[in-house]
Structure formats: C-alpha cells, structure tokens
C-alpha cells in the first residue's frame, strides 16, 4: 500500500509542477483523471494536506472560500497576488508583513506565529479583456 501512496503522491506533485498557476484540488483531480492517472479525490486532498504540512506548497483561499494550491519554489514561503479570473499569480515582497506578524506576536507574548495574507484581484490582461470588471 505504501508504494501506491508514493505513486499517487508523485502524480499529484507532477500535476502541481506542470501547473504554473494556483489550482484547486478539484482541478488537480480532474487533470489527473483526464490523464488516466488513478488518483481519487480523497487521495488528492490527503496528498495536499501532506504537502502543506511539509511546507512544500503555498495555499491561498480566494473569494467564496475555495482553497488553491501551488508547489512552493526554492525561495520558501512567499505571498502572491492572484488574479481571480485566470488565476495567474505574481510573488510580492512581503517583508514588511513578515516583520509586522513577528512584532505583533512578540508584543502579545506569542512565538512561532503563522499567518495568512490573501491578495486577490484582476490582472491587467483580464481587466483589459473584461472592461466591466471592477478594480475592487
């Protein structure tokens, strides 16, 4: 059984590697199914939880509560600005957010603080293609 999990984990990681954008678990499962890979939806979620706990993926929550996943690069934890229409993402320098989180935690006697910052908008390409899209 462990060999099967390893194969399935490798398939999910490969699908994440191929995707250059943040993707939902549902999208990953559909992609794997269309490719003929026998990975069930529950297994996709289990592998994503494992990768998140291992610090190998970035996870963001977009409007409506859907969680999106992206394989983490060599630079480690990063924040991204994500287009809500096409899901293209751009990393952002969030060093001030990181310092603020540590400072606020320290002021209140906390350590090993974790945080989530979600920056979701509409990229220039999508905005140009959808003139009625609001910038809020």
Residue 32 and residue 23 in contact, taking contact as beta carbons nearer than 8 Å: no
Residue at 59 is within a domain? yes
Check: CB of residue 44 under 8 Å from CB of residue 3.
no
Given pLDDT bands bounded at 50, 70 and 90, which one contains residue 76?
A: low
9, two tokens: 């984990």
| Position 7 in a domain | yes
Residue 130 has pLDDT above 80, yes or no: no
DSSP state of 80: E
- Give the DSSP letter string of 26-49: HHHHHHHHHTT----HHHHHHHHH
Instruction: Please count the helices (runs of H) and the strands (runs of E) in the chain.
Output: 5, 6
Q: How many domains does the chain have?
A: 1
**Residue 95 reports pLDDT greater than 60:** yes
CATH of the domain at 116: 1.10.10.10
Residues 1-46: pLDDT tens digits? 344 568 888 999 999 988 878 899 999 999 999 998 888 999 999 9
Higher pLDDT, 63 or 5: 63
| Beta-ladder partners of 119 | 81
Residue 134 lies in a domain: no
Express each pLDDT in 101-116 by its tens digit.
Answer: 889 999 999 988 877 7
* Residue 71 domain boundaries: 2-129
């Amino acid at each position: 059984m462990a060999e099967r999990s390893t194969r399935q984990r490798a398939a999910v990681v490969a699908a994440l590697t191929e995707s250059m954008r943040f993707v939902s678990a549902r999208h990953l499962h559909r992609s794997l199914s269309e490719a003929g890979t026998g990975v069930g939806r529950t297994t996709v979620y289990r592998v994503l939880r494992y990768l998140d706990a291992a610090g190998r993926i970035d996870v963001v929550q977009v409007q409506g509560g859907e969680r999106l996943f992206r394989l983490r690069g060599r630079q480690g934890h990063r924040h991204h600005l994500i287009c809500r229409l096409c899901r293209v993402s751009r990393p952002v320098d969030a060093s001030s957010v990181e310092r603020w989180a540590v400072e606020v935690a320290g002021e209140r006697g906390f350590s090993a603080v974790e945080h989530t910052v979600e920056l979701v908008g509409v990229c220039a390409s999508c905005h140009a293609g959808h003139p009625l899209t609001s910038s809020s």
